[in-house]
A = this chain, B = another copy of it.
Amino acid sequence: MNLPVPLNTFIGIIASLFSTLSLLPQLIKILKDRKAEDISIWMLLILFIGLGLWVYYGVLVKDPMIIIANSISVLINLLIIIFSIKYKPA
């Protein structure tokens, strides 16, 4: 296979895409079902800190891919947190 970039860069890009986009179906599900009872708010909060630190890491090593991918993840994760709290039983 002829790749326009080295194999490791290519795999890194695809891995970023999958990791980043994985949060999207969860956001869609919450918006559709208006229910988030079974989702761990701790998972979301710890992930939020983790993703935020990855953005900071991207800034430190000046890697736009890491910054962009994790910024999108932080945003989707934040929306999931907001709607989880909104749709959680009191």
Q: Which residues of A contact B (CB under 8 A)?
A: 7-8, 11-12, 14-26, 28-30, 33, 35-40, 42-44, 46-47, 49-51, 53-54, 56-57, 60-61
Oligomeric state, in copies: 2
B contact residues around A15 at 8 Å (CB): 50-51, 53-54, 56-57
Q: Is there an interface contact between A19 and B50, defined as CB atoms closer than 8 Å?
A: yes
In the complex, residue of chain B having the shortest beta-carbon distance to the beta carbon of A23:
B43
Q: Is there an interface contact between A60 and B11, defined as CB atoms closer than 8 Å?
A: yes
Q: Is there an interface contact between B38 and A8, defined as CB atoms closer than 8 Å?
A: no
A-side binding surface: helix, strand, loop or mixed?
A: helix
Q: Is there an interface contact between A8 and B42, defined as CB atoms closer than 8 Å?
A: no
B contact residues around A40 at 8 Å (CB): 25-26, 28-29
